[in-house]
Amino acid sequence: MSKVFSIPAKLELPGLSTGGYKVSTDSFFVHESSFIDPDVEIGAGTKIWHFCHILNKTKIGKNCSLGQNVVAGPNVIIGNNVKIQNNVSLYEGVTLEDDVFCGPSMVFTNVINPRSHIVRKHEFKPTLVKKGAAIGANATVVCGHVLGRFCFIGAGTVVTKDVPDFALVVGNPGRINGWMCECGVRLSFAHLLSALKSSLTEGMVSICKSCQTKYLVKNGVLCKNE
């Protein structure tokens, strides 16, 4: 069963794909148990499942999937082709770029030092999750950080600092434990010692054993060799 909502505007947002268009009311799906506030944008092909709440001024792109009991907003930005699994809350200040994956029951915080008797809404810190990043089940992302493109956050990890593009981060606190291809397969560097998994040396090269994509360390950053 679909619900009918007014979709006020076209999605043209920094860091996200353009082309999230104003859509007709039958182009997305919202389960009847979910609640959508006024002035929410939902892209074509998006599915919002049971017991979700999308708060005011939240923008959701095209072809997204929001699982059971997802809360987003207010003022949250979700790109295109994003998958958010069950029991995830996205608070004000969270931005997910295109193709992001949020695993079941992972957590975003928005205040560093909360107290129930002190109002700290003016202290919310933004979190940016860049294109293609994957966050595992039950991970926690402490607010105020950037998760790089196609990084991979292992299940149960606590992220306490910025994460580079393609980095594999695990543990509490999260530490870099390797590097990942866009396709989700761990990269191997023949001359990278296991004790130095987080270290990258200029000019190092790795070819993904699954999709054959080539990666190169350039200016201290791992990038695709295109």
Q: For residues 175 and 107, what is the distance between their CA atoms, to the nearest angstrom?
A: 18
Could you tell me if residue 163 is inside a domain? yes
Could you tell me if residue 225 is inside a domain? no
Could you tell me if residue 2 is inside a domain? no
Could you tell me if residue 195 is inside a domain? no
The tally of domains found in the chain comes to 1
Which pLDDT score, from 0 to 100, does residue 7 have?
Answer: 42
107: closest CA among 132, 86, 89?
Answer: 89
Which pLDDT score, from 0 to 100, does residue 9 have?
Answer: 40
Residue with tokens 């509490």, as numbered in its chain: 172
Q: For a pLDDT cut of 70, what percent of the chain falls above it?
A: 85
Could you tell me if residue 91 is inside a domain? yes
Residue 1 has pLDDT above 50, yes or no: no
Buried b (16+ CB within 10 A) or exposed e, 83-97: bbbbbbbbbbbbbbb
Provide mean pLDDT across the span 92-100: 97
Could you tell me if residue 98 is inside a domain? yes
What is the residue range of 100's domain? 29-185
The CATH number given to whatever domain includes residue 65 is 2.160.10.10
